[in-house]
Structure 1
Amino acid sequence: MYSSHISLFCPLDLHKFSYNFATMSGLVQAMSLLKVTFEKYAGKDGNKQSLTKAELSDLLRAELPQAGTSSKAEVDKFFSMLDNDKDGVVDFKEYVTFVAALTAFFIKLCQQCFLLPATMSGVVQAMTLLKATFDEYAGKDGDEDTMTKAELSEMLRNELPEGGPKAEVDDFFSMLDNDKDGVVDFKEFVSFVTALAVMCCS
């Protein structure tokens, strides 16, 4: 859905930034952490482009401790739900979509975790950075739960190497604002980051 517009904002290689967090914006850090965490668990059973059920189980236990108590049946059900194309593995797009949904659902968890950076897993750090980035730009024009076009434009200029000219930002904002209420909420923002991360890593 976003691919034709995302290319305007995505001249970056997340692999290049993976271990140089000091030079990255919060948004790029979040995307890099998602990629690094995926690569940490993917490929142990062969294919480095996907997670098997066993690899996903390892990731959930290590990165989201609350999930470590899940039964085998629960993990099987979760894996089946996550594996959208039913090919028996979870690829990067399916993994990032999952983290995005989790982030949108656990906004309060992210805010609490942000106070404890030393104890956070890579996935939780990425979730926290996404929320912190949104909060940094949202609300300057009023509602702290949404971004206006001006706030989104400022975020793109500051967080990504190429912010795109105004006409392109206008088109992009219109596409991102799914419910056409004139602002971008956190769920819409996270959907954008999901598409961006997938495009940058493909």
Structure 2
Amino acid sequence: MPSSPADESTGALKSVREEQRLMTWRRIVKAARRVFEEHGYGQASIGDITKVARVNRATFYLHFANKAAVFNEVYAEVREQQSSHYWAMLDEGLTAGTKDALRSVLDRALAWWEEQAALLPAIHEAMASDLEVASRWKDQLDQLAGELHGYLGQFPEEERDARRLRVQLMVMQLDQLCFRAIVQKVFVIDRDVLLDVVCDLWVDSLQFSRESGTS
């Protein structure tokens, strides 16, 4: 049966409303990132976010249950930008099994952290103080580590969980190091020196060849 004019009008109205809802959601997330970058996680408030987004609290709560929920969306977008290429790149470098390949991956990983420097304090603060955020981060880390098909496929099945965990721990260590060196600047180290040291740590932990171009 063909749609009546009334049905088509109702469908068009629903589409417009959905688009408006999505635009508002995006505006809140964008505003939240700005607030978290400027104030950190603990000092940021829902009032700050609604002010920047130019919405009222009722509108905010139509989209998000609390501050942690909107932060998770901000962080998910950051992780999505990273995971779209970083984990595939990491898998390729790990599969190659050489120091040169690994150093190239870590170089690009450091560049990513440098690009996200403004948000890193809020990320670390949120994970330390909010279990909901920390749990979401762990879920994402598990999911992304599960994408290391090429690297993990090189080992017997009974070894893969331990190998995956080893990579996860190295990523967590890199995250902490980037925070201390890039954001807090506790370690004032030449970038190339830092990269060489980190690469050596990964080579030792993952038992890679130190020879260029060999596995």
What's the TM-score, normalizing by structure 2?
0.28
> Larger relative CO (CA 8 A, sep 6+): 1 or 2?
1
Larger fraction in helix: 2
Greater CA radius of gyration, 1 or 2? 2
